[in-house]
Structure 1
Amino acid sequence: MSSLTLGPVPAFDVTDPAFSITSEDVHRAREQSWYATTPYGIAVLRYEHVNRLIKHPKLRQGSVAWPAHNGITEGPFAEWFASWILNKEGEEHHRLRRLLNPAFSPKLIGSLVPRFQALALELIENFAEPDRCEFVGEFAEPYAARVIAIMLGLPESEWKVIATESATVGLAMGVTLREDLPKIEAALQRLYAFCDDLIADRRARPQDDFVTALVNASRPDDGRLSDTELRDAIVLLIFGGFDTTRNQLGLAMQTFMAHPDQWRLLAQRPELGGNAVEEVMRVNPTVRWVTREVLEDFEYEGLALAAGTTVHLYSEAAGTDPRVFEPGFDITAERRPHFGFGGGAHHCLGHFVARSDMSEALPLLATRLIDPHELPGASWLPDSGNTGPIRLPIGFTPNP
């Protein structure tokens, strides 16, 4: 049976690991209907509908149901997943956001930009061979993990712990969650121990850093973060910050290799680094869908939506919708906002970190890797949920 059936209302079998959420079939389905049916609920395919539904008052953040969709209703992973600020609603969500926000201040993150630049250059200069690299292992993974170490005030030598455990926890965002659960929960326990030690150290020896800001976070009306909230928040930062940045950098290289003129332009105009991140995330986001859940029965565009229905908002399909965007990839263009960081009340808390570290890395890569091209041996996560390359061998002409 095909993983996609086109009709008046298309049907997608997104549980099939071979299903591609960014395929031409999905784009054709977008022309037939603003939504498709899936085993999880409905998939929304057009920009204006995604833009309305991502903020709709009768929808709540929906990823809280992801473990249950995969038959997981108890245990360490289910408990941690339910603890995410992303999966909290109402006043509880707002309280956590108010307490966590100061640690993500542009001033604190901005002060780290020179470290991000030095790190990117160090990794490029240390490629094992002068004219090729395995981009994930030699750049994206150590860069994303060491950025987290810098933020947390950890020795950068700890990056392999961050990378290994985060990559394993990241399997939970894919359609193979159930079979991967034992190793996901083992990695989660190791991250818990790692974070408990880190929190205890900052309580004993405060520093002018991100973790100390979280440990000391308090507001007269909101109290403080509990020990469990602190630990869960830092584990989420480690996992989320690593997984999405590593994946998104790999997807950026995939996109630029398909548009070599834009890569050359970025090398000539490094100030376009921020624009480049936004354009890549519009056409090739690692977060392939944003999830919502229907709170109460209502009708939308003639479709009856029952309470409890999962609504997946397809970020790439929305970001490339020809009703809103001219075809193509252009890092100089002014575009409407993409949905790579979600939207509404649950807009990604760490978006400024991701935007900062990637906008520094991409121009430095562009100036030093001339005419990059994919070599044989690439492998990829399934094209659903969160995706990206597992291995991405790249050849290039080095720029001395």
Structure 2
Amino acid sequence: MIIHQPTADGLPPHPTVPFRIDAATRRVSIDARNPAFFQDPYPAFEAIRAEMPRFFWEEYGLWCFVNADDVHALFRDKRFGREILHLATREELGLPEVPERLKPFTDVDKLSMLDREPPAHTRLRTLVNRAFVSRQVERLRPRIADLANELIDRFEGAGEVDLIEAFATPIPVIVIAEMLGVPTSRAGDLLDWSHKMVAMYQFGRTRATEDAAVAAVQDFVAYLKEVVAERRKAPADDLVSTLIAAEEQGDRLTEDELIATIILLLNAGHEATVHAIGNGVKAILETGLDPAAIFATEDSVAATSEECLRFDPPLHFFSRYALEDLDYAGISLKKGDSVGLVLGAANRDPARYVDAARFDPDRPALAHFGFGGGIHFCIGAPLARLELQVALPILFSRLPGLRIASPPSYRDSYHFHGLEALHLAW
């Protein structure tokens, strides 16, 4: 049956989101490429939650979970992980071989710490963790503030701006490039390569998407090998030099892992934060809250930033493999089966958050899933939080009267959730 109007108590009508629920089999059909869905996926998940919080998403071909308790538990359940081929071959799992044309991408992707399990994950994460602990990141506060002001100086006099292009994008990409020691003059290339690589994780990718991602990763690797070669000759006070030093100590980091780690940090270090800023500004403006009040104190700034990450997070979906045959909540899974944790839906679970669909920086502080969880909790969370806490108050202070100039539109990129543009005026 196609559900056009959810009828569960408290759920608003949403006639434009088509999806199908088969309660008997707990199967759900949602076209993630349908604009009615990716522009606002929350009503669909609320209607599904009311029927069954654990469901099989037909288009993805896996069991998914929308409740906060399930997502929290699954992030910490050691029977699940991000890597499976360390435990079984593709043949044993019934997985097709990777086409030769995709190997330049998968050879890099499989070395990312995000897709590794202990002990490899522990080794890789330990190498970079020191750079992202809160006390280290806090040293970047003046630089982020200066950068935010410099960017606003460029467009303040125009009276209007696309915030994504002119503010939300440059801040995180410049900051992470400077941390790593990659020239910010190559920011345009970094963004292009990152966007093409990230597109590989989206629902319904095409051959053109795959070809673009392969070309991007080849260019990215070639460029970073040049950067690494330069740092070997002349080490600097940056993260690339630190990683090279670790690699030269022996078996702690191979050169391929070094390159893959730099790519992950560059991609993850800006992609999500861009949309955390954009989604957060949109939420603040749409709810009409007084910026002077929500950014009045350090505590209120932190609370507002966390509410932005809860209310409309940039990452909505995170998958994991069953590492063994198991049963979870009555669902039988075979080793190698994938499950989906629907972070955006868990962040609006009414069992965890009072009036969950309302943007409320004053709500009681409760952990959210904007940065994932478990051993794969976002290593860059302290940096992302700092960028939000510095950039948002400066933006609203410098541009009083800030308002949305035209209806914002989200990108066709579920399970990432970010705006194509955010046109503002003042």
TM-score, structure 2 length as denominator?
A: 0.84
Shift of 1:129: 4.6
Give CA deviations for 1:18-41 in whole Å, capped at 9, x if unaligned. Answer: 433723121111121121211320
Deviation at 1:364, TM superposition (A): 0.9
Corresponding residue for residue 276 of structure 2: 248
How has the CA–CA distance of structure 1 residues 243 and 95 changed in structure 2, closer, same or farther, with 3 Å as cutoff? same
Structure 2 matches for 1:50-199, cutoff 5 A? 50-61=71-82, 74-127=102-155, 129-179=157-207, 180-199=209-228
Following the alignment from structure 1 to structure 2, what is the Cα–Cα distance between the partners of residues 383 and 266?
30
Once residues 157 and 218 of structure 1 are traced to their aligned partners in structure 2, the CA distance between those partners, rounded to angstroms, is 26
Question: Cα deviation per residue 1:211-237 (whole Å; 9 max; x = unaligned)?
Answer: 2222222698x8431111111100111
Structure 2 CA distance, aligned partners of 1:76 and 1:200? 21
**Secondary structure, aligned partner of 2:155:** coil
Task: Provide the residue aligned with 2:48 in structure 1.
Answer: 29
Counterpart contact for 1:62–1:310, Cα < 8 Å: no
1:260-271 matched pairs, under 5 angstroms = 260-261=288-289, 263-269=291-297, 271=299
Residue 156 of structure 1 and its aligned partner are, at CA, apart by 3.1
Equivalent of residue 301 in structure 2, options 273, 283, 286: 273
Give deviations 1:279-299, integer Å, cap 9, x for gaps: 111111111012111122222
Deviation at 1:324, TM superposition (A): 0.9
Percent identical pairs in the alignment equals 26
Counterpart of 1:200 (choices 229, 232, 235) is 229
CA deviations 1:55-89 (Å, max 9, x no partner) are 11221126999xx8998684211222211111111
Distance 1:166 1:282 in 2: 24
Structure-2 change in CA distance of 1:256 and 1:235 (3 Å): same
CA positional deviation for 1:265: 2.3
Question: Which residue in the other structure is 2:19 paired with?
Answer: 4
CA contact (8 A) 1:145 1:160 kept: no
How far the C-alpha of 1:128 sits from its partner, in A, is 6.6
Amino acid at match of 1:48: D
- What's the CA shift for 1:17? 4.2
Counterpart of 1:183, as a letter, is: A
Q: Distance in 1 between matches of 2:161 and 2:278?
A: 12
Give the match for residue 43 of structure 1: 64
Distance 1:257 1:116 in 2: 22
Normalised TM-score (structure 1): 0.89
Q: CA deviation at 1:366?
A: 1.9
The Cα shift of 1:370 comes to: 2.8
SS in 2 for 1:199: helix
Structure 2 residue identity aligned to 1:214: L
Tell me how far apart the structure 1 counterparts of residues 47 and 166 of structure 2 sit (CA, whole Å). Answer: 37
| Equivalent position to 2:364, from 334, 356, 378 | 334
* Structure 2 SS opposite 1:242: helix
Shift of 1:178: 2.9
Shift of 1:123: 0.6
Q: In structure 2, list runs of 5 or more residues that go unmatched.
A: 3-17
After TM superposition, the structure 1 stretch with the greater mean CA deviation from structure 2, 342-351 or 5-14, is 5-14
1:176–1:120 CA distance, 2 compared to 1 (3 A): farther
CA gap of 1:191–1:117, structure 2 versus 1, over 3 A, is same
Q: 1:217 aligned to 2:246?
A: yes
CA distance in 1 between partners of 2:408 and 2:145 (Å): 27
Could you say what the CA RMSD is over the residues aligned between the two structures, in angstroms?
Answer: 2.7
* 1:46/1:321 contact within 8 Å kept: yes
Match of 1:13 in 2: 30
> Against the structure 1 CA distance between its residues 6 and 80, is the aligned structure 2 distance closer, same or farther, given a 3 Å change threshold?
same
What CA deviation, in whole Å up to 9, does each residue of 1:300-324 have, x standing for no partner?
A: 2222223222111111211111111
CA–CA separation in structure 1 for the residues paired with 2:343 and 2:96? 20
For the residues of structure 1 that align with 2:392 and 2:196, how far apart are their CA atoms?
Answer: 26
Could you say what secondary structure the match of 2:341 adopts?
strand
Q: 1:23 to 1:329 in 2, by over 3 A?
A: closer
Q: Any unmatched runs of 5+ in structure 1?
A: none
